[in-house]
Amino acid sequence: MKDLWMRQIGGVLRLELKRTAFSRRGWWIYCLAAAPVFISLMHWLIEIQHRSHSHSIGEDSVVFAGLFLFFFLRGSLFFGAMGIFSNLFRGEMLQKTLHYYFLTPIRREWLVAGKYAAGLAVSLMLFLPSVAITYLLLGRHFGAAWTDYLTHGPGLGQLGSYLLVTTLACVGYGAVFLVCGLLYKNPMIPAAVVWVWEALNPFLPTVLKKISVIFYLKSLCPVEVPAPPPFSVMVIEADPPPAWLAVPGLLAVAALLLIYAAITARQTEINYGE
């Protein structure tokens, strides 16, 4: 029995990887993943033209922290996960192909698991290299000093933390948008609500801050990004959760959402006319 459901999940995973990773409609997601790499590359090329640097490695690390928070977590990674995961079911409903899965002798739970695994694999394949390359290129113009910062300083440790946060973001946002794709005809509407809620997180009361993915992801980032004025006076400070609580907490929320998605999939009936 165990071998059967593992083979079923593996079969769905292989089919979905072909459909999701190489879809022409997903070209804009590739652009989202490549955009920060391009920005970092331009920064490197411009800086190597100057023999004296107007900033330090520490300042570049803060720049990357801001880029990671505002461009990755609230921008490219968020919308990339939305595009990948919300279409796993909704895209097939629009193409009128989901019934082929439902006619096969496979439990709906394993179908959800296989589709989610495929979406997670594609998102990690795109955004983990994007974060790593962007980080490594950003300070490359410092030459040997940057290499020393990576190997003997906090550089590689910071990169590892950013990669962990990226993985958890794909896990958490992926589960959210998989559920949105199952429940809503137009996943863009709940995605917009989630995005606004995540963007308002710094200004929310402490209790409401905790009902958010970004709150736990920010607590795992190695470099804090100060809020610029006038927003700094509106930010409500809250004690960040420790890593031992943030990581299992995000994984538990994602697991609960996937369980809910599996229950919803079992009760889903195909009606392409709606």
Tell me how far CA of residue 22 lies from CA of 30, 82, 122, 274, in angstroms: 10, 17, 10, 29
Q: Is residue 93 within a helix (H) or strand (E), and if so which, with residue range? A: helix 87-95
pLDDT at 168 over 50: yes
- Decide if 89 contacts 182 (C-beta within 8 A): yes
What is residue 21's predicted lDDT score, i.e. its pLDDT? 67
Segment 36-49, tens digit of pLDDT: 899 888 878 877 77
pLDDT at 54 over 70: no
pLDDT on residue 52: 59
Query: What was the pLDDT predicted at 243?
Result: 82
Q: For residues 12 and 258, which has the higher predicted lDDT (pLDDT)?
A: 258
pTM metric for this prediction: 0.90
Confidence of residue 216 (pLDDT cuts 50, 70, 90): confident
Higher pLDDT, 10 or 174: 174
How is residue 221 written in tokens?
């980032």
- List CB contacts of 42: < 8 A, sequence separation 6 or more: none
Among 1-5, 139-143, 229-233, 248-252, the minimum mean pLDDT is found in 229-233
How close are the terminal C-alpha atoms of the chain, in Å? 36
Sign of CA dihedral 78, 250, 106, 10: positive
* Pair 136, 35: CB distance under 8 Å: no
Q: Report the alpha-carbon distance of residue 121 to residue 20 in Å, rounded.
A: 10
